[in-house]
Amino acid sequence: MVFRKLMAAFGAGVEVDTVLSGTSVRPGELLRGVVNFRGGSSDYKVEGIFIDLTAVVEVESGDNEYKSTYSFLRQQVAGSFQLAAGAAHSQPFEIPMPWETPISAIGGHPLHGMRLGVQTELALAGALDKGDLDPLFVNPLPVQEYVIAALDRMGFHFKKADLERGTLYGSTMPFFQEIEYYAGGDWRRYFNELELTFIAGPAQMDVILEADKRGGFLSSGHDAYNRFTVRYTDPPATADQALQRGLEAMARHRGWF
């Protein structure tokens, strides 16, 4: 374990280390771990321990764009207790992951462009001190994996992923994820790029597609949208068919498709 010293400004010298039980988690699952503490040179009353789940989000402001860190879940995992000088203390925790938690890893590999993290907050001596940001790897739900694999089979090539500030219809998050692809295969006749967004819930998931359509004779390129719902109890073919219909609907323009 690697302990990090906190609250140096208060002379406490308390050290903390947060260890997650697994390397990854899925939306809707429990994030399990333990917060380990070691007291400093004096006795101190710890007023609370908090776990903060954060994400790096793209923010547009006028003609400018910058990155900002957003908290999408903050949960208290321990109340007040006395931490004796030099004493060790461990606090296990379980946090239900929001269903809309964005994906940050696929097949055990980090998703390029995504940054999610876990931050431990310690309330001590009337102040709140945050530790370092530990990476959080969120794998897709099985139905999300299937949609992603279907796009791969259709010839789309992954470009990057990011989080955009804003709240979509049906969502409770202050941001949404866009997984971006280059069009491939026959779809290159209709699209330049495709953006994929999931809005997941406990029983079903909305899939939002946005495509940059190619221009043609007497027409200009523009964006096209499609949105459909997949229930987790549906057979895999249902999502495949809905995805195919959605892409065809976006490609349909002046009888091209």
pLDDT tens, position by position, 80-134: 888 888 888 889 999 999 999 999 999 889 999 999 999 888 887 665 556 567 8
The CA radius of gyration of the chain, in Å to the nearest whole number, is 22
Structure-model confidence comparison of residues 252 and 198, the more confident one = 198
pLDDT-based confidence at 153, cuts 50/70/90?
very high
Residue 193 has pLDDT above 70, yes or no: yes
User: What pLDDT score was predicted for residue 125?
Assistant: 65
User: What pLDDT score was predicted for residue 10?
Assistant: 46
Least confident of 50-54, 78-82, 216-220, 229-233: 216-220
Provide DSSP, 124-168: ETTEEEEEEEEE--BPPPHHHHHHHHHHHHTT-EEEEEEEEES--
Least confident of 2-6, 34-38, 199-203: 2-6
pLDDT tens sequence across 34-71: 988 888 777 878 888 899 999 999 888 777 888 889 99
Structure-model confidence comparison of residues 36 and 148, the more confident one = 148
Percentage, residues of the chain above pLDDT 90 = 54
CA dihedral 146, 151, 155, 156 (to 10 degrees): -130
Least confident of 52-66, 80-94, 167-181, 219-233: 219-233
The mean per-residue pLDDT over the stretch 186-210 comes to: 95
Q: What domains can you pick out in the chain, each with its CATH number?
A: 4-135 (2.60.40.640), 142-251 (no CATH)
Entry pTM:
0.85
Q: Which of 108, 86, 84, 82 is nearest to 25 (CA)?
A: 108
pLDDT tens sequence across 16-32: 888 888 778 999 999 99
The mean per-residue pLDDT over the stretch 231-255 comes to: 86
CA dist 168 → 35, 86, 148, 228, 243 (Å): 34, 49, 21, 14, 20
- CA dist., res. 159 & res. 179, Å (int): 8
